[in-house]
Structures are given as C-alpha cells and as structure tokens.
Structure 1
Amino acid sequence: LRSGDGKFTPNGTVPSPLDLASVALPARAMVARYQRRYCCLNYMPVWTIETARGCEHRCKFCSVWEFHQKTVRFHPIESVRADLAAAGENVFIVDDTFWTGAERSAELADALRSLPPRNWMLVQSRADTVVEQPSPLDKWRPLARRFDVFFGFEAPTAAGLRSLHKDCDISATVEAIAIAKRLGFGVTGNFIIDPDATQEDFHALWSFLETHAIDRVGFTILTPLPGTRFFSAMHDSLEVRDWDHYDLHHLVWQPRLPIEKFFELYCETWRRSVLNLRGRKKWWQWAREVRPGQLGRLARILRQTQKLMDPEHYIAEARVRCHNRNVI
C-alpha cells in the first residue's frame, strides 16, 4: 500500500500462482454508471471479461509471460458463464492467448451456447494456436453476430518474427488469416515497427497488408517495457526516461533511419489502416455502425486517430524532447 509520504509498504503476499477459482466475479454494479463510456472504436458500450490469465510463450516485447512466469491459468467455466451473463451486447475477452487448450475452449463454448448471442465479440489469439487447434473456432463463431479475432501478427517476415522471439512462422500467420476468414470471423491485429527498420522493411509490410487484404490493424513501435528482460538488455541504449513515452507510440532510442524519415514511413503505414478517413472506409460508413446518440463520441475518436497519419505530430514532439535534452 502507498503511505502518506508516497512510499510503498508491503501488506502481505499473494500465493503464486494465484488459483483463479478463488477470484470473485467482477462487481460490475460499481461501474455501471460509467459503462456507456467504455468503447472500442465504433462499439459502444463495451464489456470486458477474462476466461484465462497468462501466456506460455516468450515474445521479446511482451511483459505478460514474465509477469505470470510463463503460466496460463483458467477461470472455472461456471464463473465465466456467470460473468458473460452479466455483460452486455459488446464483449471484449481480454485473455492474451484465447483458444489455448482446444478441449477446454470447446467445453467453454458449449457452456455459453445457452446464453443469448452477443452483438459483437473480440478475442485475442495467436496465429499458430488457430492453425494447430482450429476446431474450437467452429463452436465459438455462433456466440456473436459479429466476431473479431485480434492476432499479434508482429512482423510480415520470418526474420522479423525470429527477432521478436515470436516462435511462430509466417506461414502460420497466412494460414490463420485464411482459417478465420473462412469461418466468418473478422480479422484484426497488430504489427510491431522496429526502430531498426529500413525502408525495405516498411515496403515489405505494406506488400503483406495488400496481399492479404488486411487493413483493420494497428502499428506500434517496439518498446522495452520497464521490468522486462528486454528493458534490462536495452538499458544502456535507451535515451528516454520519461515513462509517459513508454506507450508503444514513441521512440525511446535512436532509429536506424533519420527521425523524420522514420515517422514519414510510420505514418504512411497507418494510412493503410481502416482508421484513415481518406482511405477505404469513409466517415459516413463509420457513422452507419453506431446509434445516433453515439455519433459525437465516434467523431471525437476518429478525429484523434487521424494524428496517427501525421508525421509532423510525432516529429514536433521529438524536437521538443531533443531541445530539452531529455532524449532523442
């Protein structure tokens, strides 16, 4: 606990690993008055639930596996069912590696089948999990009218995946996209932009996006998160100590390319996403997907996201940091 002088004092220990069967259901009534403000782009409001916690993999950029000591633990199926029954029509399942354990995933889907289908559901999974264990996807698809899978794509090449310790081949990425689309899932996800990227690396990413018709994606900058082994390994190279900039959208060490060029290419990458209102999906198409009362909030969100396509927004901030000698 934090004391009055701002310091932390221990208040006991938590058994490791914590048995999730001992975790109470979320007290959703405590946040009910704020629920309408919880959103994920055009889905408003959104409820989050957790069916499992942790990850067995060892991706270089991620803190989850280190925090949970490479373990995955599951909530009891009856608890998950009760939690989903209390949630609304738009549900984001926050597990880091959904569908881990095909048998358990299928059993959970069977238990949820008696609940009303949701309007929208989003889960996060790995490409190799979907390729190696595709059977649960069939059982899960009917549980929501719209069902998106968020993949940690991370890189468009085998070399890029190896550098991130992803333990996954690019062929699995391609096959997972095909499986998800064939079964009627929407495909979304994220790629990581390495500050060491060359112009050729950016072009390879653009080509991959075009080839596989992927535009509902995000792009984050490779960032060593404090407390991870990656952060320790990069410690002497890091030029930023302002923790506000460890948000996956700032450079925290010098890129290979000049800063101006890096952000020019980074923003050009974002222009290939569905968020670009000058691209494939126009503002009026977004507007059709929300209720009239939600138009104002959607407009504010989309207006903010357009900064992702403006290199000067990033470059100006980098100049300020340079002037203050705080960083790059």
Structure 2
Amino acid sequence: MRALLLRPAARERFGLGPFFRVEPLGLEYLAAALHRVGHSAEIRDLRLGSGLGRQRPGLVGISCIHTLDVPETRALARRVKARWPGTFVMVGGHAAAADPEAFSGPEVDAVGLGAGERSVPRLVSALARGESLSGLSGFRLRGRDLVRAPTADDDGLDPSLLPARELVAGHRKHYRCVHRSPIWALETGRGCPFRCSFCAVGRADSYRPRDIDAVCRDFAQVGADVFVIDDLFFYPRDRSRELALELRKRGVKKRWILVQTRADTVARSADVLEAWRPLAERFDLFFGFEAATDRALSALQKDATIADSEEAVRLCRSLEFGVTGNFVVDPDWGESDFEDLWALLDRLRLDRVGFTVLTPLPGTEYYAQQRARLAERDFSRFDMHHVLWEPRLGRRRFYELMVSSWKKNVLSSGNASRRWLKWFRGIGVREALALAGVLYRTQRLMDVDAYLDDTFPLELPAVLTE
C-alpha cells in the first residue's frame, strides 16, 4: 500500500518559527518502517509547498507535534477527505496522543497513541489486506468507544532503524537553525523520565534509546551541522558516554552540534560532557532552565535547583560549550518575579535566552489544574506567547515586563554586548544576511502592542483572587 505522510504548514505568529525549521524526522522514521515491511511512502512538507500530489494514497498520515498545530492539522485532514473521499486518514505525534479528542471529527479515521514505528506498519498492512482494525492496539479509531492504548511493543522504537532522509532531500537547504543551513536532525533516544507539570513528553517509563551502532551510522551519514532532537540529551549518563566514545572511535566529528538537556543532568555529568566535547568544533547546549527561584522550580515539579543551573553553566563555560536557556513566564507572576528572573540572568550571563508564556498544554498536569480558567480551546493561541487568561498584573503590564525580558537578552538587535559581537564575528556573510532577516522578524517579540493587538480583544477570564 502507498502511504502519504504530511507535515502541516506552520501558522505561528510569534516564537521560534523564524529561528528553526527542522526536517520531519518522525515521518522519516515512519516511512523507513513502512518500507521495511514492503509498503511505499512519500513525505510532503507543507511548510515548503502546498501540493498533495496527484496519485491517490491508501493512507494519509498527518504529523501533529505541537498543540499549536491542531487547527491546521484538522483543516488538512478535511482537505484530504475532500480531495480523496474514502482515503484512510490517521493523525499522530505528541499533540495528537496527548489530546485525541481534539480529532474526533469525521475527517480523521484514527489517532496514533504511541511512537508509531511498529504500530503504523501493522495498521497499513491490515488496511492493505482488508482486515478489521478492531484488534489493533495503539490507536483511537473513529466511531468506536473503545480506545486500545499502546502496548510496550507499540510504543517502542525500532532501535536499529535509520530514517528515510532521501524523501526530503529536495528540501534540505530549507532546514535551518538561526543562521545555519542546512541542518540535519538526528535522534539518539526518545522520551524523558521526568514529570514536569507543564510538559506532555515526560513520564516515568518513557525513555526509549536507539541502538548505539545505528546512531553512530546515522551520525556518520549526516552533514556537518546537526541538531539532536532528543528531549533529554546526556541521559542516561553511562549510555551517553558510551555513545560519545564509540563516535570518537569511528572518527566522527561535526562542525556544529546542538542538543537539548537539563541543568541537573549536566551538573552531575562532567565526565560525559568531556567525552562529547571533541565531537564538534562548536557544541551548543539548550537548557530548559524554566524558572529563577527554587520555589518556582518546585511549583513546576522540575526536580532541579538554581544551584544546578549555576553549576551547569559553570561546567559548560569551562569546557567551551555554548549555552542557550529558556524560561517560562507565568501569567500569575508579580513584579518581583520578573526581577528575580533578571537577577538570575545577570548571574548566568548566557549566550542566548528565550522566554515563553507558561501555557497549559493538553496532556499535562498543569492543563488539568488550569482548564477551568481557559476562555476557549482555540489551539492557534497555544503558542506559548499568548496569554489564555487575564494576567495578575494586567495584560499591558505583563507584556511590558515580558518585552523588557527580551530586550535584556542577546536576541535583541540593539544589544551590543561582547557576547553578541563574538557570536556575530564567527559567521560568514551569507549567514549574517540570513541572521539579519531573522532578527528583523523577531522584533515583534519586543513590541508590547504587537502582543496586545494579536491577543485581544479576546475576552479573558479574570485573574483569580486569593
């Protein structure tokens, strides 16, 4: 059977859109899994073109990774059904698995609840043979009350599988990270064992590693600039060190590597960082620092401390890693909370900083806590830059302080700090031109009225009073 796998267009008005466009790696793994059992697959990245193609597929799979993508994913499913009535449409990805009820309309036949690399080939094979789907686990099927949760096998990865990167080769030059292009996405493991209240990824048993030999072969095959998309890199410590040493043994070295990790993981892993550092000329770490006080970290169930953040940054500096950090800004903050944030930033002196509004994403504990406060479930506003209820300080003052936070960090075009100049000197003319365009677009992040005009006149629930 032929499967058409789609990455929906992006519609975000603020945030990371100007900075990152990463290849649809999950769809590449899914295509490889389908190829392995004799099915054909095509990937269309609709961020880079709108066509669905002419040939009618037997199954259309749509990736919905972020809650923000839900409206576009539903619209795309309706478009597919209008184009090819009777074609089986499946939606998968983090956001779909976290909130399958969001796809209860007639345009979606199934919602994937697990990783998909094992369960989706079974689904496609059953469709090709005309078999009943009632016995399949790992899906929510349209029109059925019974949702068969994924088994451990359904939710597992195929550890030796390599992604079908050839299916997006024509778009490679369009995949970028700030001024770097092309970049290559790579995965060494999936999931996170932590349970932060605002994150839908983590759960105690969710970490699934890929085979070390397969990861090494993938690293060797991809280009010079690599973004490792693991939710938590350097974890577990022993395996991460083993992987680094094996890559060094095979002579793998890149121009640039970016990974995502936690401060407490890094603070306790000096030997692991030392093993990884020789693998790239420039090696950047992206931290979800999230909060500026231990009290705030505890409220987010982060299981980390400010001392961890400070030690992680110190260790990174000593080993010449680049450090980028993100912090979540709570609509319930007062003025002193912003002052705590700025004080921590002054101490950490990060290379780059980002800020997002603390947002109740479906599937998280924070969503369960705050659902009664939501004015609506318009997922186009769940971009981590809109507020979804009236801030404690009022909407204008909240965004004034949010904008002040942006203006104090390295992404501001008016920031003439030595850190910014050092970073800019390290790139070429072509990259500088691309970066200038990105910086121009991000000025909305530093304009209070841009936030207010885009967010309101939505009627928001009033701030809760104690």
Matched, 1:234 2:358: no
Q: 1:318: Cα distance to partner?
A: 2.7
Alignment of 1:154-233 (within 5 A): 154-233=290-369
Aligned partner of 1:143 in structure 2 is: 279
Q: 3-state SS of the aligned residue for 2:457?
A: helix
User: Given the alignment, which residue of 243, 246, 267 partners 1:108?
Assistant: 243
| Distance change in 2, residues 1:290/1:132 (3 Å) | closer
CA contact (8 A) 2:325 2:350 kept: no
Q: 1:41: Cα distance to partner?
A: 0.8
Matched, 1:40 2:163: no
CA contact (8 A) 1:255 1:262 kept: yes
| Distance change in 2, residues 1:39/1:289 (3 Å) | farther
Whole-Å separation in 2 of the counterparts to 1:37 and 1:200: 42
Aligned partner of 1:6 in structure 2 is: 107
User: Given the alignment, which residue of 52, 55, 74 partners 2:192?
Assistant: 55
CA contact (8 A) 1:202 1:265 kept: yes
| Distance change in 2, residues 1:162/1:326 (3 Å) | closer
Aligned partner of 1:87 in structure 2 is: 222
Q: 1:327: Cα distance to partner?
A: 10
Whole-Å separation in 2 of the counterparts to 1:294 and 1:321: 39
Alignment of 1:269-308 (within 5 A): 269-280=405-416, 288-308=425-445
Aligned partner of 1:267 in structure 2 is: 403
CA contact (8 A) 1:180 1:187 kept: yes
Q: 3-state SS of the aligned residue for 1:249?
A: coil
Q: 3-state SS of the aligned residue for 1:220?
A: strand
Please tell me the residue identity of whatever aligns with 1:108.
L
Whole-Å separation in 2 of the counterparts to 1:297 and 1:133: 35
Q: 1:229: Cα distance to partner?
A: 2.9
Whole-Å separation in 2 of the counterparts to 1:38 and 1:289: 20
Q: 1:296: Cα distance to partner?
A: 4.5
Whole-Å separation in 1 of the counterparts to 2:437 and 2:458: 27
> Normalising to structure 1: TM-score of the pair?
0.91
> Normalising to structure 2: TM-score of the pair?
0.65
Aligned partner of 2:458 in structure 1 is: 321
User: Given the alignment, which residue of 127, 133, 150 partners 2:269?
Assistant: 133
CA contact (8 A) 2:289 2:325 kept: yes
User: Given the alignment, which residue of 196, 207, 213 partners 1:78?
Assistant: 213
Give aligned pairs, total: 324
Q: 1:65: Cα distance to partner?
A: 1.2
- Highest Rg: 1 or 2? 2
Whole-Å separation in 2 of the counterparts to 1:327 and 1:248: 19
CA contact (8 A) 1:141 1:147 kept: yes
Tell me, which stretches of 5 or more residues in structure 2 are unaligned?
A: 1-60, 62-76, 86-105, 112-122, 124-135, 139-150
Aligned partner of 1:252 in structure 2 is: 388
CA contact (8 A) 1:43 1:290 kept: no
Q: 1:115: Cα distance to partner?
A: 3.3
Q: 1:42: Cα distance to partner?
A: 1.8
Matched, 1:19 2:19: no
Whole-Å separation in 2 of the counterparts to 1:70 and 1:266: 36
Q: 1:289: Cα distance to partner?
A: 4.3
Identity across matched positions, percent: 40
Provide, for residues 74-95 of structure 1, a one-character-per-residue CA deviation record: whole Å limited to 9, x for no partner.
Answer: 1000110111112111111111
Please tell me the residue identity of whatever aligns with 1:43.
R
Provide, for residues 273-312 of structure 1, a one-character-per-residue CA deviation record: whole Å limited to 9, x for no partner.
Answer: 2110101359987765444444543332111111111111
